[in-house]
Amino acid sequence: MVSNLLETDMEAILDEAFGGADGELLVVDPSASTVVSLVEAGIARDDLPRMSMLVDERVLKDVMDDFLVASKTADLVTEDSLELGFLPEDVDNALFVSESKLVAPVSAGDRVAALSTTDGAFVSEVFGTYRDAFAAAEAYALRKPSISRVRETMTAEIGETAREDFDAILASLDAARGNGGGLDEVTVSLLVAARNDVLLYDISKWGEDVGIASKATFSRTKTRLEDLGLMDTEKVPIDVGRPRLRLKLGDDRLSGIDADEFADVAVDLIG
């Protein structure tokens, strides 16, 4: 059987074609935006089959440069809901294929059309071909921590208020994806720490332990933010050794505003 699907977005195509399906869904040669949509759908829903994605190497690496996407992906990988591999060669078009259905999506403006089939012999042949291709493909190893682990450890080691600020700032950046300016995950962590008067030692140790970045990267980024006037420090004496540095916001425009506004102001100040 062949049919056409016309929906407003990729998640709607997934819902129509594979919602509630069992088994495995192979995703072949998705675009960057499709990878992001599939990750978001995988995080938000529990009715999708396990996904195995074969993605162009450059596309996958570019997408995973986004900390929030990569950390959500890491959650799915940890839960064994998603596996990633590099596409070994070009294919004619993107495909979603399970053991019982094949869908070929085509984006046009803000809508998505797709051709689907449940022809048993054809679907079985395509699924087998790409299952073998995935088994032979080079696996992609994520180097970002899962967002669940980031949130859990930040709450435990830095504080719940700081974690709430972290979530709010990341959410505002996610809503305006592509306009994050210089607000990477290290910068956001440091600004959240400064907003909550956290020690540089504590935030950089947490960041290194959880896998965000090294203490040296945190230190270099702190210096850059000081040079830009966004951050100040004050010395905190300790019993033994050099005083530690407490992080403070260095620009009054960052003080006294809601966390969901904080990112916009910080981006403007970083320029």
Each residue's pLDDT tens digit, 176-202: 555 455 689 999 999 999 999 999 999
Q: Are residues 21 and 73 in the same domain?
A: yes
Q: Are residues 17 and 89 in the same domain?
A: yes
Q: Are residues 48 and 161 in the same domain?
A: no
Q: Are residues 112 and 225 in the same domain?
A: no
**Which residues touch 214 (CB under 8 Å, ≥6 apart)?**
208
H or E element that contains 26: strand 24-28
Q: Are residues 24 and 130 in the same domain?
A: yes
Please indicate, yes or no, if residue 224 is contained in any of the structural domains.
yes
pTM of this structure: 0.87
Mean confidence (pLDDT) of the chain: 89
CATH (domain of 238): 1.10.10
Mean per-residue pLDDT, 120-138: 94
Taking only the tens place, the pLDDT of each residue in 53-108 is 999 999 999 999 999 999 999 999 999 999 999 998 878 888 999 999 898 887 77
The pLDDT of residue 13 is 77
Tokens of residue 248, six digits: 């403070």
Please indicate, yes or no, if residue 227 is contained in any of the structural domains.
yes
Please indicate, yes or no, if residue 165 is contained in any of the structural domains.
yes
> Pick from 113, 136, 159: which residue ends a domain?
136
What total of structural domains would you count in the chain?
Answer: 2
Q: Are residues 153 and 266 in the same domain?
A: yes
Q: Is the dihedral of CA 167, 169, 172, 178 positive or negative?
A: negative
Instruction: State which residues form the domain around 9.
Output: 2-136
How far is it, in rounded angstroms, from Cα 150 to Cα 186? 12
Under a CB-based contact definition with an 8 Å cutoff, are residues 121 and 12 in contact? no
* Sheet with 102-108, side-by-side order of all strands: 2-7, 111-117, 102-108, 95-97, 24-28, 50-55, 82-86
10 pLDDT band, cuts 50/70/90, is confident
> Any alpha helices (H) in the chain, and if so which ranges?
10-18, 32-44, 57-63, 67-78, 120-136, 147-157, 160-175, 185-195, 200-210, 215-227, 259-270
Q: Are residues 84 and 172 in the same domain?
A: no
Q: Are residues 28 and 103 in the same domain?
A: yes
Q: Are residues 99 and 64 in the same domain?
A: yes
- Among 4, 37, 38, smallest CA distance to 113 is for 4
Under a CB-based contact definition with an 8 Å cutoff, are residues 143 and 53 in contact? no
CATH (domain of 88): 3.30.870.10
How far out from the chain centre does Cα 248 lie? 28
